[in-house]
Amino acid sequence: MQYETKKRSVLKALSWRTWATITTAIIVFIFTGEFALAITVGLFEVFAKMGLYFFHERLWQKINFGKKEIPSFVLWFTGLPASGKKALAESVYKELRKDKLKVERLDSHDVRPLFPETGFTPDEVNRHVKRAGHLCAMLEKNGVIVVASFVSPYRPSREFARSISRNFIEVYMDTTVAACESRDEKGHYLKARKGEYQYFPGVDIQYEEPFNAEIVVDADRLSLEESTQQIVSYLKKHVIKNS
Amino acid sequence: MQYETKKRSVLKALSWRTWATITTAIIVFIFTGEFALAITVGLFEVFAKMGLYFFHERLWQKINFGKKEIPSFVLWFTGLPASGKKALAESVYKELRKDKLKVERLDSHDVRPLFPETGFTPDEVNRHVKRAGHLCAMLEKNGVIVVASFVSPYRPSREFARSISRNFIEVYMDTTVAACESRDEKGHYLKARKGEYQYFPGVDIQYEEPFNAEIVVDADRLSLEESTQQIVSYLKKHVIKNS
């Protein structure tokens, strides 16, 4: 996850030109023909400078000046079930991928199947979220941008995830239980109302909304495009900046 | 975690020379003085080719040909408590860092304090090891080499870690309970014998040795230097190869 700055290229151009011009000057000094000279110098140069350029490149391969890492961060989506976290996270993920950034996508629906023994008691959810936060932080530390979406209804485990990350950006899907329930295609709220689930956030347990989310998405009013744009703008302004 | 191949540099040298030689030939053709010509050409070239070189570099910045990722892998140390996993893992980690590789180090002693609620029952240990395996696999997927050391006494959770990694290299510290007990400076075995621990591998529960470890370290006979060399040689032969 590296790119080369313009400074680096300017320096390479300067260092290359120093070598190449000295070589050309010496060659032209030695051969003093007139018309044929242009061709001779050209041909001679092909052999003389080709090797020089190559070794020049290989030398720069060992120099780290002007090579930069794009700053990584953890973008953590939290909110009630069916609040639109996953769709929005996917949409932002796709935008980031367009810029060829190194991005990893983590969703509770992808992680939980790997650990079927993880239940839904507050204790188990907290442990699940903390481990996910640790995973995010380790990826971030190694230069990977992480787009994570977990209901993560409890403040303490979200705060844990924040505490071990370097650059944690919390995205809160601001909506109501009623609004989520009305758009819940999978029927999870219905099942929770019937008592088929325990510990269902918004029905059995309270979802603890964040006090200090970096981004609050008005999930009931904004379209997917608008909320994607809100987040991408925030990232470009505060995190990615111009690279 | 990228490096540039020699092929890439040869191609850059070819493409640069095409531009530069054409430019030189035209310049020499226009100016046909003799001695002064060398200097004139040189000076003119400084301005003409400097910009050209720069844009040439920026163009190549967008071309991925010849840029390679060094293959990542998970190096997983398993063995009884006090079998020397941690010291050996640290030593191998340092060797890999010398080559400027992107390496992450994970040890149970660093991870467990983050999750103090994780106990030592077989169920909890399996969950802990599975989550650690997932973390390793995600880092590996993102180009990071992982050097992990966990007692990981149960085969199923180690096999889970293997199953979700791309390139999983299991290092088994081959030793005996008696040998570990004799070098256990922290007195864990003593406490386990006194019944202060439950589920202590080698005392209360059986450590399930791997059937198919890629590397078996004769922990009782080899010095730290020798076992480090054994692992580094394996990696250079099978994984890192010549880059």
Judgement on whether residues A133 and A199 belong to the same structural domain of the protein: yes
Listed as ranges, residues in chain B with pLDDT below 50 are: 1, 34-35, 243
Residues B134, B190 within the same domain: yes
Hey, is B3 helix, strand or coil? strand
User: What is the residue whose two structure tokens read 């090579």?
Assistant: A67
**Nearest CA distance, A176 vs chain B (angstrom):** 32
Same domain, residue pair B178 and B118 = yes
- Least confident range from A59-73, A220-234, B9-23: namely B9-23
- For residue B170, being part of any structural domain is answered with yes
Judging contacts by C-beta atoms under 8 Å, the chain A residues touching residue B51 are: 13
Q: How many angstroms away from the CA of A238 is the closest CA of chain B?
A: 24
This complex has an ipTM of 0.82
One domain, residues B47 and B87: no
Which chain B residues are closer than 8 Å to A118 by Cβ? 127
Q: Which of B72, B91, B108, B152 is labelled catalytic?
A: B152
Chain A residues with CB inside 8 Å of B130's CB?
A: 114-115
In a domain, B111, yes or no: yes
Contact assessment for residue B58 and residue A9, using Cβ atoms and an 8 Å cutoff: yes
With respect to residue B243, please indicate whether it lies within any of the assigned structural domains. Answer: no
Asked if residue A86 and residue A135 are part of one domain, the reply reads yes
B101 & B214 share domain: yes
The one-letter code for the residue type at B166 is: R
Residue B135: phi, psi to the nearest 5?
A: -60, -45
Cβ-contact A199, A120 below 8 angstroms: yes
Q: Cβ–Cβ of A28/B41 closer than 8 Å?
A: yes
Question: What does the pLDDT look like over A89-140, one tens digit per residue?
Answer: 999 999 999 887 889 999 999 999 899 888 899 999 999 999 999 999 999 9
Instruction: Return all residues near A97 (Cβ < 8 A) that are at least 6 apart.
Output: A103
Q: How far apart are CA B70 and CA B5, in angstroms?
A: 11
Count of structural domains, chain A: 2
By residue range, what is the domain housing residue B166?
71-238
- Check CB contact under 8 Å for B45 and A20: yes
Residue appearing with tokens 């293997």: B162
Which of B34, B67, B100 terminates a domain? The answer is B67
Q: Is B152 a catalytic residue?
A: yes
Q: Which of A31, A52, A67 lies at the terminal end of a domain, its last residue?
A: A67
pLDDT tens digits for range A8-34:
666 666 666 666 666 666 666 665 554
Per-residue pLDDT, averaged over A46-71, amounts to: 67
Q: What angle do CA A100, A134, A125 make, to 5 degrees?
A: 115
Same structural domain, A76 and A139: yes
